[in-house]
Chain A
Amino acid sequence: MTSRRNFLKHMSGAMLTAGALPSAWILGSTEGETRSIDVPGEEGMIVRSYRFLDLETPVEYFDTWITPVPHFFVRNHMHEPSELDPENWKLTIGGEVEKSLTLSLTELSKIETHEVVNTLECAGNGRSLYRPQVPGVQWGKGAVSTARFSGPRLRDLLQRGGVKPTGKHVMFRGLDEVPGKVPPFVRSIPVEKALDSDTLIATHMNGAALTKHHGSPARALVPGWIGAASCKWLTEIRVLENEFDGNFMSPGYRFPNQPVKPGDAVKPEDTHVMTALNVKSAISGPSEGAKVNGSKVSIHGTAWAGEADIAKVEVSTDGGTTWGAAKLGHQQAHYAWRLWTYDWKTPKSGEYIVMSRATDSQGRIQPATPEWNPSGYLYNAVDRVKIRVA
């Protein structure tokens, strides 16, 4: 009888579980186990959207200076190109140039290669943390990753065409497929940034050819800037007299000129196009809600600042009353994040708010509260996790 009662109890639990879940596909999930979707080449990533694909890097993966490609966040605005044939792929360079060019992938590969380790972050990273909430992909903290990108300098390509004095902006167009009447994902950057020796037409990431999710066969790589500047599946570069006029320059990817009261509307003329990233840090461990024990706990994470360098990272274990300096990792590059650790001699048992705060070489410091804006861009408030010491 006892075993039958236990069996009944077990089965009714299973039935309840099955009923509460949206699909039998996920039956078998046990408590604490995450439902999973098979996306080849993408491992353990948070699925914000499957069609079109948007994948977030879990913060616990922020413990390597270079993010392995299967852990590198994916942001697609549209559908990925359904057909990509590297043999027939062409890149055109036109507009305000003396001579228009068309390059094949083979021709592109013969141009001198340059390498940049860059932390790429989506402008909307952290959007889900704003209150009131705003529309868009509800990124947590992980629409940011770091890779070693390589390919020819954009400058070398532009100089082959010869930029006319009238050329002030450089536009990128990708091969992504536009659904409905959605405006194409086309943006531009100022010619000064385009001619910077670190701005690339990247064909490789961490030493391997770009994967499709990351813009194969070639993408723009605009280091230190919001991810949207680094157009994927690049097929056209056009030098323009003026900033490109399109949805993803305005009203998209703009930030208010002045602080905004949360929830308020902002007039388009009171905004500016976003360029470089903010100063920011993230705690990769212990995780939110973790239970820790031992005489010493290593708090660790990463910090980045776009075009600036990280000057220091501080950690608080008392909810922001006192701060101590974290040790910065020795691996560094101009546009790359710095890993950091902070050894915390564990005090009494109880709940603690652990916080991290970065300061950069320009004197920028992470604010205690985020700067709310209607599209939820550039979230960079002091990071925090709540943990329990046993």
Chain B
Amino acid sequence: MSHSRRALPGLLVVISTIAWIAVACVPPFWGQSAVPPSAKATEDLPAGPRQAKAATACLECHEARIILQQRLSKSAWTKEVDKMTKWGALIDPSDRDALVDYLSTNFGPDQPSYEAPRTSQGKTAPGKVSPGKTTHDKNVVVR
């Protein structure tokens, strides 16, 4: 018993390491290049019984990120769903209320705000500047 208890932390290390490597090996393999890690280009809708139907209704025309960033009341979501139905979103009338519930539960006014990713940096990005200074002030501002 005491032997197996002593072995447990070691086993955890092995399991953790394997799991970590498995996750890290999903392409692009982070660590092999100097390229910063990338976010997924398009987001997914949150899991739930209405995820598939919401995906069919919404993601044909635009990606999920546009939904993920909204923080709307139920009445505002109802207006959006009705507008999008008019604009061709495939929503069965019997699914409308459940879809509004799904959206207002996941993206209501009290949810924390969505943090948007950025595009990769390039040559023209301003360098890191010390607080209170800019890279261009000296060229632009009358002194």
Contacts and interface: CB of A to CB of B under 8 A. Distances in A.
Interface of A: 4, 7-8, 11-12, 14-15, 18, 22-29, 33-39, 42-52, 55-56, 58, 60-61, 63-65, 68, 70-71, 128, 132-135, 137-138, 179-183, 284-286, 290-294, 296-300, 327-331, 339-341
Interface residues of B, number: 67
Contact of B12 (A8, A24, A68, A137): A8
SS class of chain B's interface: helix, strand, loop or mixed? loop
B9 A8 contact: yes
Contacts of B9: 4, 8
The 7 closest A-B pairs by CB, nearest first: A180-B88, A43-B122, A181-B88, A179-B61, A35-B39, A28-B30, A297-B132
Interface in B23-51: 23-24, 26, 28, 30-31, 36-44
6 contacts: A28-B30, A43-B125, A44-B120, A138-B114, A180-B89, A182-B87
A7 B80 CA distance: 49
Among B10, B17, B28, B132, find the residue whose CB has the most chain A CB atoms closer than 10 A: B132
Interface of B: 9-10, 12-13, 16-17, 19-20, 23-24, 26, 28, 30-31, 36-44, 60-63, 65-66, 69-73, 76, 79-80, 86-89, 109, 113-114, 116-126, 129, 131-137, 140-143
A23 B43 CA distance: 9
Contacts of A29: 37
Contacts of B23: 18, 24, 27
A55 B136 CA distance: 23
B38 A330 contact: no
A29 B140 CA distance: 35
A247 to B, nearest CB: 9
Among B28, B39, B70, B109, find the residue whose CB has the most chain A CB atoms closer than 10 A: B39
B34 to A, nearest CB: 12
A35 B13 contact: no
